[in-house]
Structure 1
C-alpha cells in the first residue's frame, strides 16, 4: 500500500444528491389517487344524500374539471336541426359523460337560426334542402373531423310540416335525407322525420328541468313547460301519484313514463295543433271570409292598418273592420281633442275566445306550479316591454291582458298584429289553461346561456339511446 501525502489528500467522488423535483408521472399518479378518493366520497355521499352539490346538475363540476385535466374524459357531440314553422334552427351540442355519476354533462352549444321555415319550400324542396346543407356547414365549426363520423345528426320538423299536404311534406323530407346521406355526420333512415307533438312537449320539458337542475328530488320540484310555437302549442308537467291516477283516468294517452337520471316520473303532455301563434292568427283572421279572397277585414286589426302577411304560401292583405271604432279623446288641459281609431277590444276578445276557449283542456292545479313559458310567449312579452329581451323576467296573466288592451287601444302600424297576438296569448292562458290573473310565468329564452329548445332533450335522448 502506498502511503498518501498529507499535503495532497485523495479526492473523494461527490455524493449524489436526490433531486427535490418529482417526476411528472408522480403528480399524475397522485392526482389519480385523489380522484379515486373523491369518487369514493361521492359514492358514499350520494348513498347518504349528503353531497355538497346536485348530483344531477347539467354543468361541469370541479371533479369533472380535474378528470379533464388528466385526460380521463373526452367530448361527445350531437347535431340537431329544429325545422320549425317560421324558421330552422341548428343546435350543435358538446357533452361529456361524467366519471363521477355517469351522467351526460352539457359543456357548450352552437345556435344558428335561418328563415323562412322549411315548410315555406313546399313547392321548391331543393331550396329547402340547400338551407339544411348551409346549416350543416356551420356544425363543422364545432365537431372535429375525427368525431364527425360517429356524431349523431337529426332533423325533426314540427307543426309547419304537420300542416302541409302529406305528399309535399314527404318530398321535403326525402330531399333533406339526401343531404344527410352525403354529410360526414352519422345519420340513419330515422334521422329525418316529422316530430310528434307529444315528443316536442316531452323534450322541451326535459330541457327546461335539465337546465334548472330539477331532477333527482321528485315531481314537485320540477317546473311546467309551456311552449308556444308557430303551428302548435304544448303544455307539459310532472305528476305526483294522486295526480297520475286522475290524469290516467281522464286522458291516459297524455300521461307518459319518463326515466330521467334513473328516476321514473309520470309526465303529462298535450300538444294542440293549430293553436300555435301563426296558425291561430290564420284561423281567426280567415274565419268569416266569404269566398277565396286574399283581402281580409278583421275586428282585431286597427282601422288605420293595411299590411301584408304571408302564411302557408299565401299572401294576405290585412285591414281593419269596414265599420271602424273611433273614440274621442280630449286633453285634460286645453281644448285639443283627437279622434282615435282603435280595435274594439271586447269584439276582438270574443272572436279569439270563440276559436281558442273550447279547444284546450284545463289541467287542474297547473297555476300553483312553477311555470316556465318560452318561444312566442317570450318574444311578444319582450317586444312590448314586459320583460328585458336579454335576460327575460316574470310576467303575470294580468300583465299580458293589460298589454293586450293597451295595444288594441293604440294605433301602431309598426306592430299591426300585436293586439291580436297578445289577445290570443291572454285567452290561451286564461280560458284555455285556466290561469288566474295573478298567475306568474317565468319567461326566458335561455337558461344558463343555453337555448330553451326541445333540441337539447332530443340530443340527450339520442346519445343515451341511439338514433
Structure 2
C-alpha cells in the first residue's frame, strides 16, 4: 500500500516508515535566550505598548463543548457528531458517507460485494487501533472489506476515555485496566467469528515518551498482558503495544487526511495537490507536507526528515518533523516556567507560593500552576495573575523566546529550535494547509460563535485576531459575548485561552513562517472518521498478511 526505502518498524508490510530519533525540546535554548534577552529588554519589551483590537463587531452564539485539559478526568466520552473539514469549496467530504454499525445491515458482510477478491480472505475484516495520547486514550474500530486487491475502508467507531496512560505512573495495572472501556466496545462491534482475525495495536505517543523508560515500559508490559489474557483479538507481538516514533505519527496523519480527501488514492486524478498536515497534540506537534522544488538544482536535503513513500501507485517525497515538547500542554508549562524565571531575574516574585505577573493570562484572571525548578527538578505552586499586562502582544513576546527561533541552524533553512525545513513559502506556496487536534479544539468554539468566521475562509491571522480579544479579559468579553453565558463561563474558567491562541499563532507565523494571510482549514472528522494518524497506521496494518489468533 505504501513503501519506504528505509524500512523499519513496519518492514513486514508493503513498506514501513522506520524508527528514528525524535528531536526533544531543549530547555537550554530558551533559557540562554531568556538570560540574554530578559535582562536587557525584558521589562520594557515584555510589557510594552498595546495595539487596538482588530476583532470584528458583536458576536452572538452558542459554544460547542471543548476537549478538557490534560489534568481533566472524564470517565467516558461518546463519539462526537461528524464534522467536515471547515471551509473547503473544491474538495468536499465523500459523497457516500460511512454508515456505522447502528445502520449496518450485517456486521459480517458488506454492501459492496458478495465474495472476497481472494478466497483466502474474509469478506470483511476489522482492525483496532488504540491511540494512547497524552490527554486520553482513544479506540478506532475500523471496518474494511476485501472486495478488491487491497482492503477498502468503510467506516469507523470511535470512543475515548480519560486520563491517558501517562497519568498512571507507578500504577501499570491501573493503566492497562483503563483501556477496558474501549476494548469492551470493540467486543460489542466486531462479530464473534471475526475477533480472532482482528488485529489490535496500542500505540502510545508523546505523553508516554516523556514519562521515562522504566515507567513507560512497565505500563506497556501491563497493557500487553491484559490484551493477551482478557481479549480475543490478534495482538501483533512485535508492534502491537509500542511507543510510536513521532515521525510515524506525522506521516500517518498525512496519509489519513489525504486518503479521506481523495488526493492520494489510486483513482485520484493526476496532479491533484495534496494537503500539508499540521497536528498539535498535548506534548508534541508534527508537520508533514509534500514540497515542490521548482529550481533544477534544488532538492530536499537527506536526513530523517525525508520520506520516500509510494501510495496509490505514485511515489512521493515528504518532509516531516515531530517537535517533542511543543505540544500545547507542554508549551503552557514552558511559558509558565519562563515567566517564573523572568520574575526571579527581576526580583518581582518567584518561588513556591509566589504571585507572578503573567502576560499570557487574560487580564483580570489568575491560575495556580505547578512550575518545575530546572536545577533541582522540584515542583512548586505559583499563583499566576494576568493583572493589567495580559495581552496578545505581551504574551507573544514571551512565546517568541520559547519558540527558540534564533537557535543555531546547522542545516539551512530552519523553521524553529534549529530544525531543518524546506521553506513553505518557496516549496509549498499555495498548497492547502490542514490543522488538526488542538488547533481545531481551540478554534472551533469561536467559529460556532462567529457567523463571519463560519462563512469566510480562515487565515493564520485568525488566531491573532481572536487572541487579541481574549487576552484583554472579561470587560472585553462582555462586549462581544456577554449574552452567551456558556461562552463567558468557558473563558472565565480557562485563563490560558490567551496563551493557547497566542502560541498557535506563533507556531504557524513565526515557527513555520506562514504568512498571516495564508488560508488554513481545520478538521476533526470527515463524515464520522477521525482525522489523525490512526487510519494511516491501520491501513498499513491491514495491508500485510492477515493473521488470526490461535
How far apart in 1 are the matches of 2:297 and 2:246?
23
Q: How far apart, CA to CA, are the structure 2 residues paired with 1:316 and 1:299?
A: 18
Q: Distance in 1 between matches of 2:147 and 2:166?
A: 39
Residue 373 (structure 1) aligned with residue 408 (structure 2) = no
Task: List aligned pairs for 1:179-218, cutoff 5 A.
Answer: 179-182=226-229, 183-189=231-237, 190-215=239-264, 216-217=268-269
Partner of 2:195: 148
Correspondence for 1:407: 470
Deviation at 1:254, TM superposition (A): 0.7
1:283-362 alignment runs, 5 A limit: 283-287=334-338, 288-289=340-341, 293=352, 297=356, 298-308=358-368, 316=381, 318-320=383-385, 324-325=387-388, 343-356=390-403, 357=405, 358-359=416-417, 361=420
Greater Rg over alpha carbons, structure: 1
Report deviation, 1:396. 0.6
Residue aligned with 1:252, SS? coil
Change (3 A) 1:369 1:345: same
SS in 2 for 1:430: helix
Output the CA distance in 1 between the equivalents of 2:155 and 2:320.
28
Is 201-210 or 278-287 further displaced after alignment? 278-287
Q: Is the 8 A contact 1:299 1:347 kept in 2?
A: yes
Partner residue in 1 for 2:523: 444
Q: TM-score, normalised by structure 2?
A: 0.64
2:326 equivalent among 275, 289, 294: 275
Q: Rate the CA distance shift 1:397–1:415 in 2: closer, same or farther, 3 A.
A: same
| Separation (CA, whole Å) in 2 of partners of 1:163 and 1:442 | 30
Deviates more, 1:201-210 or 1:182-191: 182-191
8 Å contact kept, 2:364–2:473: no
RCO comparison, higher one (Cα < 8 Å, 6+): 2
Deviates more, 1:287-296 or 1:224-233: 287-296
Runs of 4+, deviation exceeding 6 Å: 56-60, 70-73, 310-315, 386-389
- 1:425 maps to which residue? 504
On the 8 A contact 1:220/1:240 being kept in 2, the answer is no
- 1:70 is displaced (CA, Å) by 6.6
User: Deviations for 1:184-217, whole angstroms, at most 9, x for unmatched residues?
Assistant: 0001322000000100001000000000011144
Q: 1:240 to 1:465 in 2, by over 3 A?
A: farther
Instruction: Report if the CA contact (8 A) 2:138-2:160 is conserved.
Output: yes
Match of 1:382 in 2: 444
Deviates more, 1:425-434 or 1:345-354: 345-354
Change (3 A) 1:400 1:344: closer
Alpha-carbon offset, residue 382 of structure 1: 1.3
1:163 aligns with 2:226: no
CA distance in 2, matches of 1:116, 1:293: 27
Instruction: Evaluate the alpha carbon distance shift between residue 248 and residue 141 of structure 1 in structure 2; reply closer, same or farther with a 3 A threshold.
Output: same
CA distance in 1, matches of 2:456, 2:294: 32
CA contact (8 A) 1:58 1:106 kept: no
Equivalent residue runs for 1:63-74 within 5 Å: 68-69=113-114, 74=123
TM-score between the two structures when normalised by the length of structure 1: 0.75
Q: Which runs of 5+ in 1 are unaligned?
A: 1-55, 326-341
302-311 or 167-176, larger mean C-alpha shift: 302-311
- Pair 1:107 & 2:154 matched: yes
Distance 1:314 1:147, change over 3 A: farther
Please state whether the residue corresponding to 1:135 is helix, strand or coil: helix
Q: 1:58 to 1:135 in 2, by over 3 A?
A: same
**Alpha-carbon shift at residue 140 of structure 1 (Å):** 1.0
- Secondary structure at the residue paired with 1:81? strand
Correspondence for 2:422 among 357, 363, 367: 363
Structure 2, gaps ≥5 residues long: 1-93, 99-108, 345-349, 373-377, 406-415, 475-490
Separation in 2 of the partners of 1:245 and 1:136?
Answer: 52
Paired residues of 2:328 and 2:438 also in contact (CA < 8 A): yes
Which of residues 124, 128, 136 in structure 1 aligns to 2:183? 136
Shift of 1:245: 7.6
Q: 1:404 to 1:451 in 2, by over 3 A?
A: same
Of stretches 272-281 and 68-77 in structure 1, the one that deviates more from structure 2 is: 68-77
Other structure's SS at 1:428 match: helix
Q: What is the CA RMSD across the aligned residues, in angstroms?
A: 3.2
Contact persistence 1:157–1:193 (CA under 8 A):
yes
Cα distance in 2 for residues equivalent to 1:264 and 1:58? 28
Aligned to 1:257: 308
Higher strand content, 1 or 2 = 1
